[in-house]
Amino acid sequence: MTSAGTARAVYLVLGMHRSGTSALTKALAALGPDLPAHTMPGDEHNEAGYFESWPIAVLNDQWLRAAHSAWDDPFAFPLEPLPAVLNEAWVRKASDLFDEEFGQAPRPLLKDPRISLLAPAWFELFDRRDIAVRNVISMRRPIAVAKSLQRRDGFALERGVLIWISYMLAAERHSRGRARIFVSYEQLLEDWRAQALRVAAAFGEEGLDASKLGQEEAVSKALRHHAGDDDLSGLGETGQLAARLTDWMERACADAAPPAEEIDAIAADFAALKRRLGGLVSPIARDLDQTRADLLFQRQLVDFQRNRLENEVRAVAAELHAVRAERDELARRLQAAPAADAPAAPSRVDIAGYGPPDQLIERFHRPEYREVWTALDPEFYLASYPDVRGFDPVAHYLEVGWREGRDPNPWFSTRAYLEAKPQLGPLGINPLVDYLRGGMDAPPKPRPPSAPVAPAARQSTSFDEQRAVVEPAFDRDYYLDLYVDIAQSGADPLTHYLESGWREGRDPSPAFSTRHYLEAYPEVADADINPLYHYLTIGRAAGYRPRPHLGWRYDILEKLQDVEARTAWAAKKRGPVEIRDPHILREALAGLAKAHLTVSHDDFTDKVGGVQLCIAREGAALREAGRAHIHIFPSVPAPVLIEDRDYPIAVLVEGRMVGDFRAGDVRQVAAEALAGVDLTAAIHNLLGHQADAVAEIVEAAAPSETFFWVHDFAAVCAGYTLLRNDVEFCGAPPVGSTACGLCIYGGHRVRHMEGYRRLFERLSPTLVSPSQAALDIWRKGGAPRAAVEIVHPHATLTPRGERSRRKGPVVVAFLGLPVSHKGWPAYRDLAAKVRGDERYEFYQLGDAPDPSAPVEFRRVAIAPDHLDAMYKAVEALQVDLVVIWSICPETFCLTAFEAQAGGAGLVAFADSGNAAAVTAATEAGVVLGSEAELVEFFASGRAAEIAEGRRRTLHDLTLSRMSADLAEAAGAARRRRDMGAR
C-alpha cells in the first residue's frame, strides 16, 4: 500500500452499473477528493446524479466497442486484448481526458463502472504517471441490480445477473494485489458516514478529511428501489454462480479476506459458461437484433407515412372537388349576371407541398428525416413561417430552418437548445435530431417567438484547402494497388479521389470506407462534401466512424438468409429438371461385374473442392482395381436434407452424365441391375438428399462394404460447418438449447439428426474420419455412432530435405478461395492493418482473387491431374508462413499439409478444428485465439522472428486413395475369414 505521503493518488470506484457506485462516489466526495469537471446530471433513474465524467464514460464506451464488447455484454470478462499499438492509442486518449477532467488535482475521484472491465489499461496509465490507485469496489446483491436493469433497460433477470458476474469478477481480478477495499451497498445506505470513514482508514490518507462530512445527508436510504434477497436458484447455473460470488463478495465487504482460490474457481466456471453461450448474447448478436428491430420500425413508419399521405391526398382531392364545384357555381352566376357584376377570380388555396411522391419517399429513407417527421408540427411550422408554404416543412427545418433559428413545434426552442449545446452548430448537427437521440433529458424552455435570423453562410473550401487536409490521411500506394485503372491511367491518385473517386465509392486508405461513411451519415452525401474531408474536419470530433465498427462477422450477419431462402435460391439457380426414363439408367448399369457407388451433394467432375477431389481420387483408384464408378447426387442442390422421398437424382457412370431420375426409379434399377455385382459404396455427403431414400437405394444395391465419410458435421446440425449464424463455432450445444433457438439452423437440427440416425440404423456403415479431431466433434455433437469407427487421413507427409530462406521480407500467404468460412476477411484485414510494414509481404495463392485486398495474387489451379499444384507453388514462392484462419472446424485441412510440404510454417485459428491440431503439432506452428491476437502477432514482430528462425523442411505429400484403401483392407479381411472358416 502506498504511504500517506504519496504525492498524488486517484480514488477509483469500481463495480457494476446500478450497484451503488454513484452513491458511494458521493459519499467519498464528502471527504474532500476532487470530482471531474464534467459530471453527468441526475435523471429519472438516478435522481441524485451519477458523479462520473461523461467524456470519460463516452471514451470507455468506445473503447469497449473497439475490443468487440459493450457495457452490457454479459460475458465481457475477460475482455479481448487489443493489439499493443491500438491499446497504446486508447491509453493516450484516456490520459488526455483524465488531465482535462481533473487537471492537477491531488486526489482525483474517478468513477465509471466500465473501468472495471478496462482496469488493466487504466492502471497502466496511472503507473506510468506515478499516480497511486485506491480501489473502492461497490458490492450490491445481483438480483437487486438485475431488477434495476430490468426496470431501466428491459433486460431479462438472467442477463442482468450475468452482466453483474462479469463486472464483479473483473473488478476483483484486476484490483488484486493493489490497494483496495470492498463496500456493501446495503451498509452504505444504513450508515454512509461509517463506510466513508472505513475507506479513509483503510488507505490511511491524509487527503481524506473526516471533518468535512458535516451533517448533510450525502446518501439517502430512499435511493434503494429494489431489494436483493430474492432466491437465485430459479436462474439455474447462472444463479448458482451468482450465489457463490455473492457469498465471496459479502465476506470481502466484512474484511474477512476470503481465499482467492474460491473466486478463481468461480471465474473458471464462468469462462466455461462463456464458451458455451457467449456468442449468443455478444454485442454483435445484440446489435443484429437491434438492426432488425430498427428495420421493422422503419417499415412501420413507411406504412404509417403512406397512410398519412393517402389521407392527405384524399383531403386534397376533396378540397379540389369543392374548388371545382365553387368554380362551376361562379361560372353559372357569371353567365346569368351582367358583365359589370362579374366577381373577381378566387385565390388559389395554399396547401403545404411535399413535392412529387418519389422525392418524398427518397427523403423518408433518411433517418434524420424520419426522426424530425415524428416531432415537427406542420400546421405550427407553416403558420409561424408563411414563407415556407409550398415546401416540405420537415425537409425545410432539417436542411435550413434550424440554422435560421426556426422552431419545429410549440414546445421546442431551436435557439435555446443551441445555446445549451453550442458545439452542435459548428458540427452541423440538427438540434431536434440531437434531442430525439437522447442528447438532453429535456429541452430548454421555449423562447418567445422571434423573426428568423439570416441563414448561416455555408463554408466553402477550395480544392487546395481540401487537398492539404486530406493528404496526410490518404494512402497513395493503397489507392494505386487497389484501383489498377487509376495506376494505368497515370493520374494523380489524390486528385482523382478528391475530384471523382469518392463519388465512385473508392476508398482512400484501409482505415476509411467511403461507402460506409456516406451511407451511415447521409447528410454528408446530401451536402455533396468529400467524406474524408468531412471526417477529418468535423466527423472525427463528432464521433463519426470511418469504417463499419463491428467487423466482417457483422457484415455476414447483416446479409444472413434463413435456410428456406437459401434452399429456394439454389432451386431457382438450378432451374427445371428433365426426368428421364429409368430404362436409360438400366442400360447404363448393365453388364457390370465390379462397381463402386458414391453419394455426394454435387457433380464432382464439374466442381473443384476438397470433397470433389476426394471422390475423384477414390474413383480413379477403384477403377484401377477394376471397379466401375457410379456416382449419384441431387439434381436440385439444397443446403440441408430435404423431405421429398421421390426427389430427382442425377447419376454419373464412369464420369459420364446418364441423366436425372426419380429416387424410386433409381432404387428399383439398383436392385435389378446391380444384383450379383461385386459392389462397395461410400457416402461422402447427404446435403440435398432425403436420408431414407438414400438408405433405400444403397440397401437395394447391396454393397459388401459401406463407408460413411466425415467431411462435415451435417449429422450434428443442419449448419454443417457448426457455425452459429455463419459467424462463430457453436461447439454443438445440446439439442433444443437456447443456443439453438438463436441460430437460423436450430429449427432444422432435430430433423437432420433424425435423418442421419435412421440411415445409420438401416445401413450400419463403417464410419471413417480423416482426423481424430473431427471424430471427437462428431461424437460430442451427438451424431450417430457406428460399430466400426476409424481414422484414415487424406494425406501423409514424408520429409525430403530442407530449403534455405530467401533474403528480404517474410512471405505470408493465404491458400485457396477468398471465402468467409475459411477466414479470408481476417487475413485481408490483417494485410490492410500491417500494410507498409517492410518486414512482410502478403500473398494469396488460389483460383479466384479478391481485388479489394492489399495482397499480391498468384493464380494456382488445382485439378485431379494437378493435385500437387498448391504445395509446389508454396515451395516456388518460398512462403515462410501460411495463415489458416478457418472459423469452422476443419475435418482434415489439406491446406495445412500443402503448406508444410512446401516448407512453410503455419498460423491457425483456435476454432479451426484439425487445422489447429495439426498446427499445434508442427515445429513452427502457432495457434491464436482471435483476430486481435493475429494482428498483434504480426505487428509486434513475433511472426517475423518465428519465420526467420525456423527450419524449412520440405515434404513429399502422399494423398490417400480414400475408400479404395479401406475396401482393399476389408476385402483382404473377408478373404482371411473365409479361409479360416474352411
What is the spatial distance between Cα 7 and Cα 807, in angstroms, rounded to a whole number? 53
| Structural domain contains residue 837 | yes
Residues 333 and 402 reside in one and the same domain: no
What is the spatial distance between Cα 101 and Cα 36, in angstroms, rounded to a whole number? 5
CATH number at residue 219: 3.40.50
pLDDT value, residue 73: 86
Angle subtended at Cα 547 by Cα 541 and Cα 548, rounded to the nearest 5 degrees? 115
| Structural domain contains residue 345 | no
Secondary structure class of 83 (helix, strand, coil): coil
Residues 779 and 820 reside in one and the same domain: no
Residues 443 and 518 reside in one and the same domain: no
Residues 531 and 607 reside in one and the same domain: no
State how beta strands 766-769 and 789-791 pair. parallel
Residues 607 and 528 reside in one and the same domain: no
CA distances from 534 to 509, 560, 598 (A): 15, 32, 60
Domain boundary among 492, 518, 549: 549
What is the spatial distance between Cα 124 and Cα 231, in angstroms, rounded to a whole number? 39
pLDDT in tens, 334-378: 666 554 443 333 332 233 345 554 555 556 667 778 788 878 888
pTM score over 0.75? no
Torsional sign, CA 683, 686, 688, 690: positive
Residues 239 and 142 reside in one and the same domain: yes
Maximum Cα interatomic distance, the chain, rounded to a whole number of Å = 133
| Structural domain contains residue 708 | yes
Q: Is 505 left (phi over 0), alpha (psi -120 to 50) or beta?
A: left
Contacts of 680 (CB under 8 A, 6+ apart): 595, 596, 597, 622, 627, 703, 704, 705, 706, 707, 963, 967, 970
pLDDT value, residue 347: 30
Domain boundary among 522, 549, 576: 549
pLDDT value, residue 448: 47
| Structural domain contains residue 973 | no
Residues 414 and 528 reside in one and the same domain: no
| Structural domain contains residue 975 | no
Torsional sign, CA 254, 256, 260, 264: negative
Residues 143 and 261 reside in one and the same domain: yes
CATH number at residue 838: 3.40.50.2000
| Structural domain contains residue 901 | yes
Residue type at 516?
H
Residues 678 and 764 reside in one and the same domain: yes
Q: Which domain holds residue 539?
A: 463-549
| Structural domain contains residue 1 | no
pLDDT in tens, 416-472: 888 888 777 777 788 998 888 777 767 776 644 433 333 323 345 688 888 988 998
Inter-residue contact 619 to 596 (CB < 8 Å): yes
| Structural domain contains residue 980 | no
Residues 144 and 182 reside in one and the same domain: yes
Inter-residue contact 606 to 631 (CB < 8 Å): no
Residues 196 and 141 reside in one and the same domain: yes
Strands (E), 62-102: none
291-295: Cβ within 8 A, 24+ apart = 291/558
What is the spatial distance between Cα 79 and Cα 621, in angstroms, rounded to a whole number? 51
Split the chain (982 residues) into runs of 10 and give each run's mean pLDDT.
Answer: 60 92 88 85 62 84 82 87 81 90 91 94 93 94 89 80 94 94 91 87 70 57 52 81 93 92 93 74 52 51 58 66 68 59 33 47 68 84 81 84 88 86 78 81 59 36 85 86 78 91 86 81 80 85 70 69 83 84 96 96 85 92 93 95 95 95 97 95 96 97 96 94 88 83 89 95 96 94 94 94 88 91 90 87 89 84 77 94 94 94 94 92 85 91 91 92 88 66 54
Number of structural domains (the chain) is 6
pLDDT value, residue 293: 46
pLDDT value, residue 571: 81
Domain boundary among 258, 281, 304: 281
pLDDT value, residue 133: 94
pLDDT value, residue 981: 56
pLDDT value, residue 317: 66
**Cis peptide preceding 113, ω within 30 of 0:** no
Residues 78 and 48 reside in one and the same domain: yes
Inter-residue contact 635 to 682 (CB < 8 Å): no
pLDDT value, residue 388: 79
